[in-house]
Chains A and B, each alone.
Chain A
C-alpha cells in the first residue's frame, strides 16, 4: 500500500460517515423525542430512551444479551446464505445487493437462530434483524426458522421468536411468499406436539412476516410502540385516501384490539418470558 492509498482510504471514511449511526459513536439521538443521549447510558438502559421510553431497534446480539443467560447462546445454521435464483434485477442485481449488504452489515441473513438458556431452562430462539435488508424473509429466513421449529418438534423445547421484518423479500419472488406457508406448516406440527411458542413482536413487524409465524404465538408479546401490521400505513393511506389515527397499528393499538396478549417493556421482558415458560411449558423432564 502506498502512502497515497492510505490518504484515499482516510478521505473515504470521513466522507461516508453518518455521524449518528456508526457503531462506536458516543452520542445517539432518539428518533421519537430527539433527546441526545450518551451511547453508554443508553446501552445500560437496554437501548430504551431515558427521556421518552422509545425502544430503539436493536441487533440480535443485543437481544440475546438482554434476554438470555450470559454466554448461553449457541447458534444454529449460521452458514446459510441467500442466493439469487431468479436473476432478479431492480435498480441493481440482487446478487450485488447480497454482496453489498454482507459487506456493510457483516451479517449473512436477516435472522439468527440457536439455543439459549432462560434462567437455566433451554429454549430454541430465533431473532430477526432489521438491519439486513429490512429483515425481509426469503428462503434462508424461512429455512432457518423452519429448522428451528422442527428441532423443537423433536426436542420439545419452547420456541421464542423475535420478529422484526418488513415482510417477504421481493427479490426472491413467489419463493419468498411460500416461506410463509413453510414456517406456518412447521408451526402446525409444533402446535400438534403441544410445544410452547412465544412470539415477541418488535418494531416493525409487517407484511408476510406478520401474516405468518409472527401472529401464530401461543402467547403474543409486543414491544412498546412497535409497528405491527399486515399492510403498511402508507399503503393504507393511499388506498382509503384518509389520514390514519394516531397510534394506529402500534403495539398498544393491537393490545386494545385483542391481537396481542401484552405489551412488555424491554427491561421486563426476560422476567415475563421466564414467568410464561415456567407455567406453560408442560414437559417438566426437559428442565436442567
Chain B
C-alpha cells in the first residue's frame, strides 16, 4: 500500500470515489462514465493545484517518499543494460551506495548512486541510504575505473547523509568524503549528477562534485536536515517546518544560488506516482548533456568544473 502524504489526501479521496463508481458501473446497469469523467478531471486539476503550491516542508516529504524511484530501479529503466560492480577493495561492499556500468543505446555510462529501500527490511539492509566510508571509497574506485576507460560518470544523489556511527568514524568517514571531493575535481571524464530525492549534506556532496547538477523538481539539497537544523539553531526539534523554509533547499532555490544547473520536471503528482515517466525525462536530459560534453577536451572539462565550484559564495569586501 502506497504511503499517502497528508496534502495528497484530497486527491486520494477523489480517486477512491472514482474506483467506487467504476465498481458500481461494472455490475450495475447505470452508466456512470460521464460522472467518472467529471471527477477524474476534477482530480487532475486538484492535483495540479496542490502540486503547484507546495511548501518547502511538503517538498521535503515528497523527496523522502518511500515510493520514490530509487537508484537501481532508475538505472534499470534508463539503461538498456546495467551491470552492478561491488566493493571498495579495502573493507567490504556498502549496500548504501550502488554502482555499475551501463549502456543507453550506444552511450556507455558509469552509474553511481545512493541506494535507499522502499520498506523497513530493505531500508535496514541499505542503512536508509546512509553510506559508511567504504561506500564513498567504492564510489571513488568506480569513478577512477570510468576515467581509465573514458566513460562518463553519472551519479544519483539520494541520502539523508553519511552515516553518523561508531564504525563509520573509526574507518574515517571524514577522510573518505574529503578525498572524494578532492579527487572528483580532477577526474578526466564528464560527471553529471541528479539529485533524485534527498541531497543530505556532505554525504550527498561526496558523489556530487560534477560538471552538471540536475535537481528533480521535488528533490531537496541541504547543508543539514531540517530536523537537525531545528534542534541545533532553533533549539526545538519541532521547528523543522520553519527550518525547511530558512534553509532554501528546494530545487528553484538551489538553482538560484548557483549550486544546481537546472530542474527536471517530474510527472504530475510527483515521481513516486510515475517511475517510467521520471526515468524517461531523466534519460532525455542525460543524453542531451552528455552530447554537449563530447566536444570538450579533458583540460577544459576540469577547468570548467573548478570554476563552477570556485564561484560559489557571497561576501562583503571593503
Tell whether A189 pairs with B306 under 8 Å between CB atoms, given A179-B313, A211-B173. yes
CB atoms of A173 and B309 under 8 A apart: no
Given A176-B223, A177-B202, A215-B174, also A230-B313 (CB < 8 A): no
Chain A CB within 8 A of B165 CB: yes
- Whether, in the assembled complex, B249 has its beta carbon less than 8 Å from a beta carbon of chain A, the answer is yes
Contact of A91 among B186, B233, B249, B254 (CB under 8 A): B233
* Interchain CB contact under 8 A, A185 and B310: yes
In the complex, the answer to whether B316 meets A81 with C-beta atoms within 8 Å is yes
> Are B205 and A181 interface neighbours, CB within 8 A?
yes
B104 at the interface (CB under 8 A from A): no
Interface residues on A, range: 35 or more
Q: What is the total of A-B residue contacts with beta carbons within 8 Å?
A: 194
C-alpha gap A25/B15 in the complex (Å)? 72
Contact digits for A184-221, partner B, Cβ 8 Å, 1 yes 0 no: 11111101100000000000000110111111100000
**At the interface, yes or no: A79 with Cβ under 8 Å from chain B?**
yes
Binary CB contact string for chain A from 89 to 129 against chain B (1 if under 8 A, 0 otherwise): 11100000000000000000000000000000000000000
In the bound assembly, the distance between CA atoms of A228 and B224 in angstroms comes to 19
The segment from B33-41, B58-66, B175-183 that touches chain A is B175-183
Q: Quick check: A185 and B234 within 8 Å, CB to CB?
A: no
Of listed A77, A215, A259, residue having the most chain B CB within 10 A: A215
Which chain B positions have C-beta within 8 A of A242? 166
**Among residues 233 to 281 in chain A, which have CB atoms less than 8 Å away from a CB atom of chain B?**
235-236, 239-240, 242, 244, 248-249, 257-259
Q: A229 at interface (Cβ–Cβ under 8 A)?
A: yes
Which residues of chain B are near A146, meaning CB under 8 Å?
Answer: 310
User: B168 contacts which chain A residues (CB < 8 A)?
Assistant: 230-231
B312 is an interface residue with CB less than 8 A from chain A: yes
A231 contacts B173, C-beta separation under 8 Å: yes
Closest Cβ–Cβ distance, residue B65 to chain A (whole Å): 21
Residues on A with C-beta less than 8 A from B309 are 178, 181-182, 185
Interface residues on B, range: 35 or more
**Are A240's CB and B166's CB within 8 A?**
yes
Chain A residues lying within 8 Å of B173, measured Cβ to Cβ, are 211, 230-231
B318 located at the interface, meaning its Cβ lies under 8 Å from any Cβ of chain A in the complex:
yes
A222 to B163, CA, bound (A): 24
Contact call B181/A184, Cβ cutoff below 8 A = yes
Q: Note all chain A residues with C-beta closer than 8 A to B206.
A: 211
B121 at the interface (CB under 8 A from A): no
Contact of A244 among B166, B171, B229, B232 (CB under 8 A): B166
Instruction: Identify 28 residue pairs between A and B in the complex whose beta-carbon atoms are under 8 Å apart, listed by A's number.
Output: A86-B247, A88-B246, A89-B246, A90-B234, A139-B313, A168-B224, A174-B254, A177-B201, A178-B205, A178-B312, A181-B181, A181-B205, A181-B209, A184-B181, A185-B182, A185-B310, A187-B182, A188-B186, A191-B182, A211-B174, A211-B206, A212-B202, A230-B202, A236-B166, A239-B163, A240-B165, A248-B166, A257-B170
